[in-house]
Structure 1
Amino acid sequence: MAQHYDTIILGAGPGGMTAATYASRANLSVLMIDRGIYGGQMNNTAEVENYPGFSSILGPDLAENMYKSSTQFGAEYAFGTVLHVEAQEDGSWHVVTDMDEYTSNTVIVATGSDYKKLAVPGEDTYAGRGVSYCAVCDGAFFRNQHVIVVGGGDSAVEEATYLAGLAEKVTVFHRRDKLRAQQILQDRAFANDKIEFVWNTEVEEILGDDKKVTGVRVRNNVTGEVYNVDAAGVFIYVGVLPVSQVVDGLGITNEQGWIETNERMETARPGMFALGDVRDKELRQITTAVGDAAIAGQNVFSYNEEFKLKQQKVTES
C-alpha cells in the first residue's frame, strides 16, 4: 500500500522547505518530493543579499541551512518526478512519482518556475554547448572569454555582474531602452567597465559550429539593422514560466499556467494549497516564497484537523 502522510509538498525550494518546517512542527507527518536536490534555484545563485539575517550568503549555503531546519521536526524528503496527482473519493490525495506512490490528506504545490526560452534558432542546438541559463553553474567555462547576456531584469543584471568576475567581457542585449532590474543592481553593473549594454536589440539566432556557440545574430528593433556578434557563451534571462503541468486539469491555474490561490494559500480544490513562484503573484523572491509557506503551513494544519475529525465521524457512523 502507498505510504500515507498528513501533507505532501511538491517541491523542496525555499517555500517547500519552509512549509515543511511549519507543518512538521505542528506534529503533522510531512513528505517533500523533488526531482532534484533541495533548494531549487537557490543552488544556482551565487550570492543572496536580500534575505533577512544575512548581509550576504551563498545560495547553496542558504539551501543547506533551510533543509536542516525543514527536517528537524521529522519531515521526510524523497527524490522523484511527480507524474500524477489525483483527488480520491474520501477527499484525500493520491500522488504518483516515477519512483513511488503516496497518499495524503493535503497537498502543497511548491513546484516553482523555470527559465523562459528565447525560442530562436540555435538555442536548443547549443544548449549545454555555450547556451546556458545559469551563470553560477557554467560561468567558469568561459574564463577570459567574451560572453553575452540576454535580458534586463534582476537575474540578467545580477548574472552579468557575476560573469564579469570571470569573463574578459560581458555584453548585455536588452530589447528595451532601459532595464527593469532593481536600481542597486543597475548601479553596480553600470560601474563595471567589463560590462557593455546594448539597447533596443534582440537576439534572432544563436550561431555556432559543429561543437559549440560562436556568437549571435542580433537585430536593432529601432533601426532594423541586423549584424553578428562573436561570443563563446550566451546566458539567457528573459523571464520565467510556471512549473505547474502536474496539476493541469485540476482547475486551479489561469490561462498562463500560474496557480491561483486566496490569501490562505488555498486553491480552488479543497485540501490543495500552493505557494511561492508557481503562484499567480507580482513578486517572486525567496522571501515571498517563505512568507507564503508560513501561511500555507499553518492553514494545512487547520485543514488536517478538520479533515481528521470528519474522517473519525464517518468511521464512527
Structure 2
Amino acid sequence: MNQEIEEVKVLIIGSGPAGYTAAIYAARAGLKPVLYTGGQPGGQLTITNDVENYPGYPDGVMGPQMMDDFRRQAERFETDVRYGMVTSVDFSQRPHKIVVDDQKVILADTVIISTGASAKWLGLESETRLNGKGVSACAVCDGFFFRGQDVAIVGAGDTACEEASYLSNICNKVYMLVRRDEMRASQIMQKRVMLNPKVEILWNTETVEILGEDEVKGVKIKNNQTGAISDLAVTGFFVAIGHEPNTSIFKDFLDMDESGYIKTIPGSTRTNVEGVFACGDAQDHIYRQAVTAAGTGCMAALDAERYLAELELV
C-alpha cells in the first residue's frame, strides 16, 4: 500500500500551551505550521477545572476553555490543526520523517516537540472519578482552592516535599502519606517537612480509597506495619509520585535524561538533532506550569524560524 507523503516547513507534535503557542508564533511568521494534537488534544489542562494563575484571565478560566482559546488563536493565523497521533519518527536525515497514525508520512524541515508529560497516579477508581473535584497532581496549580483546609499529599521524593511545604503556607494542615519508613527525598527537603509544624508525616501508609461522591471528603489509609485502617478527614488530595514525559517514540534519536525528559541546549529549545526542537513539559521537569510551557513554545518557534532562515528555506 502506498503511503501518503506530505512536505511541510514546521511540524508541531502536541497541542498543550507549548504546542499552540509555538503554532501562533510560527504561523504569524508565515511558516504555515502543521500541528497534530495527539491523543489528548489540549494536554493536561483539559482535565483541569479552574485555572487562576495564567496571566490575562483575571476571573480565572476552565482548563478546556483555555485550550480552546489557544487553538482558535493558532487557527486564526492559519495553523493547520489536525487530529492524529504521531506513531514513529526518523530523525536520521533531513527532511525529518514523521509517521502519523501508522499511515501518513510527513517530511518536515523542522519539528517542534511539545508532547508534554503525564502525571503518575495511584490507579484508584475514586482518584479518577474525583480528579478536578479535590484530587490534583499539582499543588502549585490547585493549592489555592484549599486555603485554610486540611489536605493530604502522597509521595516521598523532593517534589512531594516541595509541594507539602507549598501547601503548608496555604492550608491549615497537611498530611504527608509515605509508603515506607523512609523517604527518597534529599536530606534538606526531608528536614524541611519534618520541622514544619503544619506538616504531619504518616509513615508506612498506603492510600486505600479517596472518600466522597462529588468532592473529596476524606481518605481511607492503611498502616503497612500493623494493617490498621483508618480515615483522614481532608478536603483535598494531592498526588506527587512523579510525572512521565511523553517522549518514548523519540528515544532512538534524541538525548534524554534518566527519566525520559528531552535534553535541550541551555538557553534554547534545540536538541542534539539539527532542526528538532523541544518545548513544554516534554523537556521541563522543574516548573511544569502552563505559562512556562507557553514561553518555551514561543522560544521553539523562534528557534525554528532562525534555523530555517540559516538554511535559506524561508
Matched-pair contact (CA < 8 Å) for 1:7–1:29: yes
Establish whether residue 83 from structure 1 lines up as the match of residue 87 from structure 2: yes
Measure the CA separation in 1 of the matches of 2:89 and 2:295: 25
Match of 2:109 in 1: 105
Does residue 1:254 correspond to 2:257, yes or no?
yes
* CA displacement 1:26-72 (0-9 Å, x = unmatched): 11121111223532111122222221222222222211211111111
Question: What letter corresponds to residue 86 of structure 2 in structure 1?
Answer: V
Match runs of 1:36-75 below 5 Å: 36-55=39-58, 56-75=60-79
1:42 aligns to what SS in structure 2?
A: helix
Q: List structure 1 segments (4+ residues) > 6 angstroms apart after TM superposition.
A: none
Matched with 2:20 is 17
Return the alpha-carbon distance in structure 1 between the equivalents of residues 162 and 249 of structure 2: 31
Give runs of aligned pairs for residues 104-123 of structure 1, distance below 5 A.
Answer: 104-118=108-122, 123=123
Number of the residue aligned with 2:293: 289
What is the CA-CA distance between 1:100 and the residue it aligns to?
2.8
| Sequence identity (%) | 25
Paired residue for 1:180?
Answer: 162
Q: 5 Å matches for 1:1-317?
A: 1-55=4-58, 56-87=60-91, 89=93, 91-98=94-101, 100-118=104-122, 123=123, 126=124, 129-132=125-128, 135-136=131-132, 139=133, 153-154=139-140, 157=143, 161=146, 172-174=152-154, 180-181=162-163, 186-190=168-172, 197=175, 199-201=200-202, 203-204=205-206, 206=208, 216-219=220-223, 226-229=227-230, 236-262=239-265, 263-309=267-313
Judging changes above 3 Å, is the alpha-carbon distance between structure 1 residues 7 and 156 closer, same or farther for their aligned structure 2 residues? same
CA contact (8 A) 1:44 1:134 kept: no
State how far apart, in whole Å, the 1-side matches of 2:104 and 2:238 are.
36
Deviation at 1:307, TM superposition (A): 3.1
Equivalent residue of 2:273, what SS? coil
Q: Which runs of 5+ in 2 are unaligned?
A: 177-199, 211-217
Aligned letter for 2:65?
D
CA separation of 1:274 and 1:150: change in aligned 2, threshold 3 A: closer
Q: Offset at 1:183? A: 7.4
TM-score, scaled relative to structure 2: 0.73
Contact 1:154 1:182 in 2 (8 A): no
Deviations 1:81-137 (A, max 9, x none): 221111254x1111112263322111111011101234xxxx3xx4xx32328622x
* Partners of 1:175 and 1:268 in 2: CA distance: 33
Q: Structure 1's 134 and 298: CA in aligned 2 closer, same or farther, altered over 3 A? A: farther
Q: Secondary structure at the match of 1:189?
A: coil
- Give deviations 1:270-311, integer Å, cap 9, x for gaps: 01000011114531111111111111111111212233459x
**Alignment correspondent of 1:315:** none
C-alpha distance in 2 between matches for 1:217 and 1:286: 32
CA contact 2:152–2:237 (8 Å) conserved in 1: no
